[in-house]
Structure 1
Amino acid sequence: MVGDNHHFTTADILVLDNAIASIQRNPGMYLGAETGPIGPILAGKLASSLIHDLAVPLTISVTGEWWILSSNVDWLGKDYLARGLFSRIVPDPRGGPNGYRQEILLAAFARLLVVADAAEVVWLKGDPEIEALPMEAVQLRRLGARTIAYLAA
């Protein structure tokens, strides 16, 4: 227990060098007390975030075991990979002092993960040479300005 006279310094800060591994080791910290299949939990977390982003109307569907979220609003933008939305914990002040973007949860807990817009489908997890999309790539690209599809682990 830290006493009242302890003064924190930069030496007290733990830097996460692998955010995804940290999230996977501590799922309760990021998913809360929710239990059950991970697919709907992830969809709910991302959908809540997208509603706050006003990325509505939002469509959530399930095709086989794939969960698909799409919107006519491109909530990610073209620079989503450069901004690290799927590789690091990106602060989101709307969630309070510990708020963060929810896309990282998909990278941590999905077995397969693709992101699509009208121009392309990008595989973030999985191998397109051996895995099959839930539908033809052209159909996935037409669902909205931005679509995320994932297969829960």
Structure 2
Amino acid sequence: KGTKSAKRRLKKLSGRENRWISDVNHCLSKTLVQKYGANTLFVLENLNGVSFERTDLPKALRNQNKSWAFYQLEQFLTYKAHLHNSEVVEVSAKYTSQRCPKCGVIKKDNRNHEKHEYHCDNCGYRSNDDRIGAMNIQLLGTQYISGQEQPKFELTTNA
């Protein structure tokens, strides 16, 4: 459906968005490699199958999150990291935002999405939920360096 001119316009806008995202990914990957230098291990979450669909957001924001090119960012970072004797490893995203980095308990209810807060009801540790995820991803990276090929967290209720 739609006129030829409307289809042309949509195609033009789509190309512009793709070029913009590609540029952002190039700039971000370049900045990361320059900031951390040679011999760095970059640890990324494997976001395959992760849905960013949120019904509480306006449709425009839902589409914005859905169209972000995570795979492209990983590819750009990988080739730039290799040029600087660095490495990129992908780890499982499972439980990274639900696991307490202090006591190791994994509990979904400890994370408050609205307040972006994590509070462990086992040990009392409290922090921003994104920071919790980053701390756990860093731990998985440390496990990778220690020789564990595919580090991941297993669901347990006690550490």
Could you state the TM-score of these two structures normalised by the residue count of structure 2?
A: 0.29
| Larger strand fraction of residues | 1
> As a proportion of its length, which structure holds more helix?
2
Looking at both structures, which has the greater relative contact order when contacts are Cα pairs under 8 Å and sequence separation is at least 6? Answer: 1
Larger Rg: 2
